Chain A
Amino acid sequence: MGTLREQTVTTPAAPATPTTTPATGVPDAGELAEIARGLRRDILTMTTRAGSGHPSSSMSAIDIVTALYCAGILRHDPKQPQLPDRDRFILSKGHASPALYAILAQQGYFDRGLLDTLRQLGSPLEGHPNMRRLPGVEASTGSLGQGLSIGLGHALHARNGGGRPYRVYVMTGDGEMDEGQIWEAIMAGAFHRVDNLTLIVDHNQAQQSNLLERVLDYRPLAEKLRAFRWHVEEIDGHDMPAILAAFDRVRAVSGQPQAIVAHTVKGKGVSFVEADWTYHGRAVTKEDLPRALAELAG
């Protein structure tokens, strides 16, 4: 394809009257797992083609992201990404952008062909998400620790903008929980009793330079969040029925924000990536890609 010139994907302006997407034909847990397997292939393919990126951080997150978008949990409309009353998903761990791009393409926010342009000059699929260039991206992230505060702002606006009905989901990494700003937002969310805000922690136990337990071991996380007066669900972040059940429970909570501590495996789905945490910030080589994809074959 030709040179991408400062490409920005635009969609028509949203109407003033909000609607929600009817949840028709919602896939079951088995079908969701199947969709997630396809998205893992997309993640690997796009990062290997780009020659860089964070595939393993994306693969630990993708089952939860798939459930959120494909199981009717996130009320959104890819044809109208700016609907005032849409639910919001903010990927605070912006380096997992391939997971976000894969699901947004799968949902029809933009043409799947754009996945081939990841990280190229002119592509709206930048290394970290840029909300100004790609529909469906709710926040420009990449400097860790900022997404939960942004989500809190969205959530507070729903309450005070005349009682709007939307919910906000924010996903952070577990290494990202080192950031002080996150805990500022956690305190404020609980104090202001923001119950339309759900934090999902992708607790994959590994960060850039080493394993979490060797960098800054703050565990146990769930107890800390409970002590900060959040409702907490702790699940296996790759168990689709457990993910769906956790989303059902958090949506029933009132008067308090909720957290889902999702125990995950970095690089989940490809054995040799799972076994090597140094895949953070590193794409699978072209030579290794076929055997990675073979592990994810249908």
Chain B
Amino acid sequence: MVATSERYELKLGKATRDAFGEALREIGKTDERIVVVDGDVSNSTRTEWFGQDHPDRFFNLGIAESNMVGVAAGLAASGAVPVVASFACFLLCNAYDQLRMSVAFPHLNVKAVGSHAGISIGEDGPSQMAIEDVSLACSLPGFAVLVPADEVATRAAVKAMMAHDGPVYLRVGRPKAPVVYETEAECAFQVGQANQRRDGSDLTIVANGLMVAAALQAHDVLAERGISARVLDMASVKPLDEAALERAARETGAIVVAEEHLAHGGLGSVVAMGVARLHPCPVGFVNVGDTFAESGPGDELMEKYGLTSGDVVRAAEQVVARKRAG
């Protein structure tokens, strides 16, 4: 039985990094506490737009991520609200100890934004692809971790991030993102809150980032095959919306987690832990697995590494079969 007749039409919106840059510029006009700290990639992360408006509140510290994060910590300790942005892999992997000791341990109000996350950046290859960033960010005590799905969600996520008191990691991507939300009203984005995009009764697909659009496509394919899928946009990986997750496990009895990330430590791990504790049921996973990707067009990589709507459909059918087999 199909819970909704709404069909998802895939159309591309802006890249989430562009939405981040625009939202930051917008908020920067009124919030004078905001300063931006950059590691010489502001024309990629889009913080350059804020920098153009506020050169006095914008610091390019060169290709030196450790110092960049330490400076952000000092700015926060002095009362500013720093947004420190770089490629997600360099921010999290190069400056991890600084995020841990200089930011997380004293729980400073630093907003860490990683762009170019995931394998969908394509041709630049594995050295530039953050596929472990969510896992690393989740391992920073006190950090909130946000992975918005599209342009509208990213704008809302930036507002939520700036309103949140405490350190935040926000993940954004390079390619144009499929539209999931038409308006901000549709996307009542809050730290710690899931957004249900489709209701369903046979299973729940929990996804974030680009995989939310894949989940919506999968929903329609599954509906044609008589499987009713609930779709949760779990943009807030930490804190997790445990109430929505528990309802999903209890009411649909099967879950698939889809994310553009390694198998270990990301949304899949977080959801599996939650389901195990709240209401155990079969869980399937769609992710990059335990491997680096390679260079190539982003959409071809998404296919090769198993991150398409077809992969979500297969995982859904398997998990529903497990559920029915008891």
Contacts and interface: CB of A to CB of B under 8 A. Distances in A.
Interface of A: 84, 130-132, 138-143, 145-146, 148-158, 160-161, 180-181, 184-185, 187-188, 191-192
Contacts of B66: 145-146, 149, 180-181, 184
Given A139-B102, A153-B73, A160-B35, A185 B97 contact: no
Interface string B105-116: 111000000000
B102 A149 contact: yes
B278 interface: no
B101 A154 contact: no
Interface in B65-81: 66-80
For the residues of B in contact with A, the DSSP-based class is helix
A158 B70 contact: no
B71 A149 contact: yes
Given A149-B70, A153-B70, A138 B62 contact: no
B12 interface: no
B15 to A, nearest CB: 29
Question: What interface size band does chain B fall in?
Answer: 20 to 34
Interface string B254-293: 0000000000000000000000000000000000000000
Nearest to A138: B77
A160 B56 contact: yes
Nearest to A157: B78
Interface of B: 35, 56-57, 59, 61-62, 64, 66-80, 82, 97-98, 100-102, 105-107
Contact of B97 (A143, A151, A187): A143
A131 B106 CA distance: 7
Nearest to B95: A181
A75 B63 CA distance: 34
Contacts of A138: 77
A129 to B, nearest CB: 10
B74 A153 contact: yes
A164 B69 CA distance: 22
A85 to B, nearest CB: 10
A158 B74 CA distance: 11
Contact of B101 (A84, A140, A158, A184): A140
A202 B77 CA distance: 24
A143 B106 CA distance: 13
A150 B70 contact: yes
The 8 A-B pairs with the shortest beta carbon distances in the complex, nearest first, are A153-B74, A149-B70, A184-B67, A184-B64, A157-B78, A153-B71, A181-B66, A150-B74
Contacts of B35: 157, 160
27 contacts: A130-B105, A130-B106, A131-B106, A132-B107, A139-B73, A139-B102, A139-B106, A140-B106, A142-B101, A148-B70, A149-B98, A153-B74, A153-B75, A153-B77, A156-B59, A156-B75, A157-B75, A181-B64, A181-B70, A181-B98, A185-B67, A185-B70, A185-B71, A187-B62, A187-B64, A188-B64, A191-B62
